[in-house]
Amino acid sequence: MMISSDNTTHERMIIMKKYLDKTLSPQERAEALVAEMTVEEQASQLRYDAPAIERLGIPAYNWWNEGIHGLARSGMATLFPQTIGLAAMFDTEMVGRVAEITADEARAKYNAYQKRGDNDIFKGLTLWAPNINIFRDPRWGRGHETYGEDPFLTAENGKAYVKGLQGDGEVLKTAACAKHFAVHSGPEALRHEFDAQATPKDLEETYLPAFEELVKEAKVEGVMGAYNCVNGEPACASEYLMEKLREWGFDGYFVSDCWAIRDFHENHKVTSNAVESAAMALKAGCDVNCGCTYVNLLAALGQGLITEEDITRACVHLMRTRIRLGMFDGCTEYDSIPFETAACPENKQFSLECARRSMVLLRNNGLLPLDEKKLGTIAVIGPNADSRAALEGNYCGTADRYITFAEGIQDRFAGRVICAEGCHLYKEKSSVLAVAGDRYAEAEAAAECADVVVLCVGLDASIEGEEGDTGNEFSSGDKKTLLLPDSQRELVRRITALGKPTVIVCAAGSSINTESQPDALIHTFYPGSEGGKALAELLFGDVSPSAKLPVTFYESTERLPDFTDYSMKDRTYRNTTENVLFPFGFGLTYGDVRVTDLEYRDGTAYVTAENSGAPTEDVIELYLKDYSAEAVKNVSLCGFRRLSLGSGESVTVQISVPEKCFTAVDEKGTRRIFGKRFTLYAGTHQPDALSASLSGSECISTEIEL
């Protein structure tokens, strides 16, 4: 909507013309626009649900919208695999395309809403995505919103997602937002009062690199603070963190997590009341408050805790973002994206392609792919067999059609498919009138009738997610254990005891130990609306599995560091080899891809891979071992490339190794190249003994001296 220009004074006309002058920068235009506002009007724009300023023709705008794996909470949209599943693809081009589709659908919905004067929540162009926190502990309920445990993988995917959301046009297609800044990964139950203690080394080595790269390289438009404190400072008003943004050249807008500023006085106890909390956040650099604490800004101004300049500065930042989005000028580039773009067939087809590449084959004794000519009956059993929630994850949209695991197998298999719930997801019985274990007998009967069993277990976002999610019954969204809920553990014991050929399909956002040795094990994460079709294609060999774990799968929580310990010692593949069930970077295929040659020259690895098995896609992974005292204990991912190889095919690819990968961080937090000697490894997994044993293949290496 254009701002009205019915001003009568010469001075106001000059200001308005300056604002309308597209030859000026968004900063200059924003300054001119904000100069037209009273301080009361400026303060009103610092709320996430900013009201209209009718005299200037500025419509109301709600800053809160979501889109970490497709447009969320705005009705019908394409539902992609949850973020952790996108990370498992090890394919930044595909991640970027997911973001492009998400932005297209956000624009399509926004265009339709604007025509109808609908400026409500979840209908704007400021998407609070991606979540680039490091998934340091498998108990964290929100970990499936992230790209996993590795800073390099997180940064590469995060940059691709930001660029996909924001586009490369004259204006931003949508505005991405890197969250939650910073040092944020549970526990959920404590997040409003928790103080995450992180050393300078861990900050620079693990927690901050992805944020830095998204600001510097991807030019992310927004940054969201976290609920917790970081080394004694509330993350949404941390001088240390805000200074980092300034060092990196950030010139977007900063938003608090929702109602996080209220925590300053209610939980962190760093202020005495809401007025002081609002002042503290604004002075530190928080431009917009998701919550209601900024209704106290004028009171803070009256008490001398903030100045009019503080309010003006934040308002300019917000108007600058809206100008960059083309909100006040019209945008011929994106205003024509039609409503029908949302959940269109082409977008859903791409969701299917992502689902195929996001499911990780962890075990296979030769049962897969299934030979349908030898099968008459398949039993599909388990609480996630016919569950839509097992496809969704959290922060998701609503698909116009879901294909559950059972439905995908029914559609694909010409023989008989017998389905049985087996048990409730986590309760001891499915019917409130029944005795405990009321579905076990049916499941056992179904399994006995079948030639093969597909046992669909795991979690969903009702028991693995954010604090306060409806239905959470396990530790406010965090997992207390890496085991399946008791009801499912009993189901697995009963079904596997029958001795039938069994594939366990586990839908969950992170590490799960099924305590079994099935014939095959597939971890699907939360694969999106097309998950059932993708699973069926993988089971029957129409497509080869090719995903890799973006997190370490551990054996038990008992041998993990304390959940509240933010030290990276003995955490993730970079610092531990203990208690590992399946390593980071591991995943099987139906092919047999081996790296046969590796050379390194001038920042580039030249890798030759050949496939002596069935046609497949696979991922070449590069790891660097730094022998300096300042380096991480083990190796670090430094490059990857997804390949498609036919049977007997060989290919040589080039993979860049960024110079930053040769740096290390000392205890003071200084990053530079300390080492002179490095080993570069290439393979389809990590260069560790367990990965080699599980995959049956070895990495090859070359020495590098600087």
**Amino acid at the residue 365:** N
* Token representation of residue 476: 């406010």
Nearest to 137 by CA among 635, 691, 634, 554: 554
Based on its alpha-carbon atoms, the radius of gyration of the chain, rounded to whole angstroms, reads 26
Closest CA to 620 of 605, 602, 632: 605
Distance separating alpha carbons of residues 74 and 56, to the nearest angstrom: 28
* pLDDT of the residue at 18: 75
**Cβ atoms 431, 107 nearer than 8 A:** no
Question: What span, in angstroms and rounded, lies between the C-alpha atoms of 211 and 133?
Answer: 9
Where helices occur in 303-404 by DSSP H, the ranges are 308-324, 345-358, 389-392
Residue 33 carries which side chain, given as an amino acid letter?
L
Summarised one tens digit per residue, pLDDT across range 573-604 is 999 999 999 999 999 999 999 999 999 999 99
In the predicted model, is pLDDT for residue 8 greater than 60? no
- C-alpha to C-alpha distance for 138 and 403, rounded to whole angstroms: 28
Query: What value does the mean pLDDT take over residues 495-515?
Result: 98
* Number of CB atoms found within 10 A of residue 199's CB: 18
User: Which pLDDT belongs to residue 13?
Assistant: 58
Residue range 114-170, pLDDT digits in tens: 999 999 999 999 999 999 999 999 999 999 999 999 999 999 999 999 999 999 999
Which of 182, 208, 68, 185 minimizes the C-alpha distance to 128? 68
* Statement: residue 2 has pLDDT above 70: no
Written in H, E and C, the secondary structure of 568-615 is: CCCCHHHHCCCCEEECCCCCECCCCEEEEEEEEECCEEEEEEEECCCC
Instruction: Tell me if residue 246 falls in helix, strand or coil.
Output: helix
> Phi and psi of 675, rounded to 5°?
-85, 155
Q: Which of 538, 546, 127 is nearest to 369 (CA)?
A: 538
Q: In angstroms, rounded to a whole number, what is the distance separating the alpha carbons of residues 411 and 304?
A: 68
Instruction: Indicate whether 3 pLDDT > 70.
Output: no
CA 379 to CA 377: how far, in whole Å? Answer: 7
User: Which residues lie below 8 Å from residue 394, measured CB to CB, with a gap of 6+?
Assistant: 82, 142, 144, 145, 461, 465, 466, 469
Q: How far apart are CA 15 and CA 632, in angstroms?
A: 55
State pLDDT tens for residues 235-283.
Answer: 999 999 999 999 999 999 999 999 999 999 999 999 999 999 999 999 9
Average pLDDT for the chain: 96
Element containing residue 605 per DSSP (H, E): strand 604-611
How far is the C-alpha of 565 from the C-alpha of 575, rounded, in Å?
A: 14
Which amino acid would we find at residue 84?
Answer: I
> Is 221 in contact with 166 (CB distance < 8 Å)?
yes
Q: Tally the residues of the chain.
A: 706
535 token code pair: 């699973």
Which CATH architecture best describes the domain 361-582? 3-Layer(aba) Sandwich (3.40)
List alpha helices for 51-150, DSSP H. Answer: 83-88, 92-115
Residue 301 phi, psi (nearest 5): -65, -45
- Residue ranges covered by each domain of the chain: 59-305+331-340, 361-582, 593-705
> In angstroms, how far is the first alpha carbon of the chain from the final one?
57
**Is-above-0.95 flag for pTM?**
yes
pLDDT tens for 275-323 read 999 999 999 999 999 999 999 999 999 999 999 999 999 999 999 999 9
Pairing state between β 177-181 and 222-225: parallel
Give Cβ neighbours of residue 499 (< 8 Å, ≥ 6 apart): none
Q: For residue 257, indicate whether it is catalytic.
A: yes
DSSP 3-state assignment of 116?
coil
What's the CATH number of domain 593-705, 1.10.287.110, 4.10.910.10, 2.60.40.10, 3.40.50.2300? 2.60.40.10
- Taking phi first (over 0 means left), then psi (-120 to 50 degrees means alpha), and beta for anything else, what does residue 471 get? left
pLDDT digits (tens, 9 = 90+) for 181-199: 999 999 999 999 999 999 9
What are 163's two structure tokens?
């660029």
Tell me if residue 363 falls in helix, strand or coil.
Answer: strand
- DSSP symbol at 131: B
Given this chain, do its domains 59-305+331-340 and 593-705 carry the same CATH topology? no
Cα gap 275→305, rounded to integer Å: 9
How confident is the model over 421-431, as a mean pLDDT? Answer: 97
Longest dimension (CA), the chain: 88
Q: Are 673 and 662 in contact (CB under 8 A)?
A: yes
pLDDT band, residue 331 (cuts 50/70/90): confident
Q: What is the mean pLDDT of residues 380-390?
A: 98
Q: Rounded mean pLDDT of 324-343?
A: 94
Which of 150, 257, 263, 386 is catalytic? The answer is 257
**Which amino acid is it at 326?**
G
DSSP letter for 295, please: G
Q: What pLDDT is attached to residue 601?
A: 97
CATH number of 59-305+331-340: 3.20.20.300
Pairing of strands 616-626, 677-683: antiparallel
For residue 5, what pLDDT is reported?
Answer: 41
One DSSP character per residue, 629-658 reads TTS-SS-EEEEEEEEEE-TT-EEEEEEE--
Q: Is pLDDT above 50 for 353?
A: yes
Q: Which helix (H) or strand (E) holds 573?
A: helix 572-575
| Cα dihedral sign, 204-207-211-217 | positive
Alpha-carbon distances of 542 from 140, 616, 618, 647, 684, rounded to whole Å: 35, 10, 15, 15, 21
Spatial neighbors of 570 by CB under 8 A, at least 6 apart, are 560, 561, 576, 578
